[in-house]
Structure 1
Amino acid sequence: MAVDALLSARELELLRFQAGRLGGLRARGSSPLSGPQTAWQRGAGLELEDLRPYQLGDDVRHIAWRASARSGRPISKVFRAERRQRILVLVEQHPGMAFATRGELKAAVAARACALIGFAALRQGAEIGGMVAGRETEFFQPGTHLDRALALIGAANRAPGHDYPAVDAAEALAQLHQLARRQDSLYLISDFQHWDDALLASLKQLTERHLVCALQIVDAGEQTLTAVGRLHIRSPFDGRELVIDTDDAELRRQYAAAMNEHQQQLEQLFKRSGMHHQQLFTDRDPLPTLARAL
């Protein structure tokens, strides 16, 4: 395990075991992301597509006997192969994710969520792939083998660095759109602190073709300022330093109002774009929430 890994090999093995508890992946009809495509099947099955007159060489097991009786001539069932479900995950590991006031780092929660989704997909025979956007963006073509999932999870499990810009969300969404094919299920994992209404068109482009869920990593202690005197703060993005007086009640009020306004705008953005939205907190086990979201 790399020295900058957010989660240990032992923790990842436990997550692989826990992924079996994500029963929602096996019953997508009751999932918030239920869609028209049959999903989470072991292998490619057959789905009835049409009925047509019997042709020489047709499998007699596929004769539609009731339709044949009604029409007075042999009718064959035409099947098409079910497409294996694909799951794509976009994980944003920007410098701001290396933060938490309680529990574990936002980045670690994001890695946990990615691992649980990846392992659950494999258990159900789905393809898993996606992107990890940090200092650079890494792409992982979907596959059903463990090494494909581990490559994605390993990239998400690397601790984000410092002193580089936030992820260009618009570019990341455009790249995800190119990687995905129609009716893939997409999971976006981030704190979404830098997302705004300018992304609405990009998100709608995704939801028109895909089932999309935003998994927002939240540190509850970040939502308000506690009165602890003067704080020296350093931006993880550009290294700029700032001193704030947390004993200033007006400053605390303005900060809380700004954080609340951003959260409300974010929730409206997800709603208007047609996405499902769940919050994963840094001081709580993400498994129960993911079981509902998936």
Structure 2
Amino acid sequence: MVALRGQARGAPAPRHGRHGLHGPAPSNLHGRGMEYAESREYVAGDDVRHMDWRLTARSGRAHTKLFQAERERLTLLVADTAPALYFGTRARFKSVQAARAGAVAAWSAVMAGDRVAALRGGEPAIPPASGARGAMRVLDALVRWYAHPPPDDAGLGMALEQAQRLLRPGTRLVVLADPQAASQVPAQRWRALARHREATLVLLQDPLEAMPPRRMLAFAVGKRRVQLALDRGDVRERWEAAFAGPLRMLAQPLPGLGWRVRVLSSDAPVQHGPWAWDGDGAPMAERG
């Protein structure tokens, strides 16, 4: 997980022209910010929209509110821990790939100067922090969450509800999810989460789910052994409805709601992460 730092990429560097830098230079400031700092007496030229009316009424003198400049943007990782993720047929489990993708996202955020935080349904959020300390906190949580299915998983819906209470305008949001779990989330929730934010949904998929063989295939379900005749058309149709159907349900409407949707196979590399951007700000091509 720590070694994946080399696969991360931060914000693009300013472009160079013939005579040096040109265009807007990157800044650590991200606007006025929403953190209240203090109030002081109003002076001519202050924005009347920031008047502290309560203090004005108590003191009899006009006061205005001051806000702490927001120097670091927040990147929030939401980790789905649905039981279906703890499965894999090639290279690694989908849960392990989710942890790897989350690690690259965390390192990318730190390299871009963001604070990084993470949460899952069932426990309090990992608080935001910047630098290596913030990344290591998130990595530790990802290892814990994705090594084994958490016994107290409250579901992706609960995790997204918790995330909505923490998010502010300008936040980067990365959701790591099982397609079937994500397809159960109402469109209204997806729309609200993406409003005024940079939102990416990473859907984890196993190669077997995408391309099952055309033959009889045996599965262990608990202590039972189940065989599926995947060479039969009706069985393959049900298979496709179970695995490809949720992907279609998400990939078609969510971009119109402000989301970037990426499908990440469990055997694909996570170089730069599926949320990476090229130099022109356009989404990078899908990897694997």
1:154 positional shift = 1.1
- Assess if the C-alpha contact under 8 Å between 2:219 and 2:226 holds in 1: yes
> Is 1:95 the equivalent of 2:83?
yes
> Is 1:275 the equivalent of 2:262?
no
Q: Which residue of 2 aligns with 1:192?
A: 179
Q: Secondary structure at the match of 1:278?
A: strand
> Partner letter of residue 18 of structure 1?
Q
Q: Secondary structure at the match of 1:226?
A: coil
258, 271, 275: which one pairs with 1:287? 271
- C-alpha distance in 1 between matches for 2:72 and 2:149: 39
> Partner letter of residue 271 of structure 1?
P
- C-alpha distance in 1 between matches for 2:88 and 2:203: 14
In structure 2, relative to structure 1, the CA distance for the partners of 1:240 and 1:103 (3 Å cut) is same
Q: Which residue of 1 aligns with 2:53?
A: none
1:165 positional shift = 8.0
1:240 positional shift = 7.7
- Assess if the C-alpha contact under 8 Å between 2:80 and 2:159 holds in 1: no
- C-alpha distance in 2 between matches for 1:163 and 1:153: 16
Q: Which residue of 1 aligns with 2:148?
A: 161
1:191 positional shift = 2.2
Q: Percent identity?
A: 21
Structure number having the greater helix percentage: 1
Q: CA-to-partner distance for each residue in 1:161-189, whole Å, 9 max, x for gaps?
A: 35958652222111001111222110001
Q: Which residue of 1 aligns with 2:132?
A: 146
Q: Secondary structure at the match of 1:137?
A: coil
In structure 2, relative to structure 1, the CA distance for the partners of 1:119 and 1:163 (3 Å cut) is closer
- C-alpha distance in 2 between matches for 1:229 and 1:284: 26
- C-alpha distance in 2 between matches for 1:167 and 1:28: 43
1:100 positional shift = 1.4
In structure 2, relative to structure 1, the CA distance for the partners of 1:142 and 1:246 (3 Å cut) is same
> Partner letter of residue 85 of structure 1?
R
In structure 2, relative to structure 1, the CA distance for the partners of 1:247 and 1:121 (3 Å cut) is closer
Q: Secondary structure at the match of 1:26?
A: coil
User: Which structure ranks higher in relative contact order (CA pairs < 8 Å, sequence separation ≥ 6)?
Assistant: 1
- Assess if the C-alpha contact under 8 Å between 1:128 and 1:143 holds in 2: yes
> Partner letter of residue 151 of structure 1?
R
In structure 2, relative to structure 1, the CA distance for the partners of 1:218 and 1:240 (3 Å cut) is same
Q: Which residue of 1 aligns with 2:161?
A: 174
- C-alpha distance in 1 between matches for 2:161 and 2:100: 25
1:14 positional shift = 1.9
Unmatched runs of 5 consecutive residues or more in structure 2: 16-23, 33-42, 45-67, 278-282
196, 199, 203: which one pairs with 1:209? 196
Give TM-score scaled by structure 2 length: 0.69
Alignment of 1:1-294 (within 5 A): 12-19=1-8, 22-23=9-10, 25-26=11-12, 41=27, 43-44=28-29, 81=69, 83-133=71-121, 136-158=122-144, 159-162=146-149, 167-196=154-183, 198-229=185-216, 231-234=218-221, 239=222, 241=224, 243-246=226-229, 249=232, 250-288=234-272, 289-292=274-277, 293=283
Unmatched runs of 5 consecutive residues or more in structure 1: 1-11, 30-37, 48-54, 57-79
1:271 positional shift = 2.7
- C-alpha distance in 2 between matches for 1:202 and 1:267: 16
In structure 2, relative to structure 1, the CA distance for the partners of 1:16 and 1:103 (3 Å cut) is same
- Assess if the C-alpha contact under 8 Å between 1:224 and 1:252 holds in 2: no
Q: Secondary structure at the match of 2:118?
A: strand
Give TM-score scaled by structure 1 length: 0.68
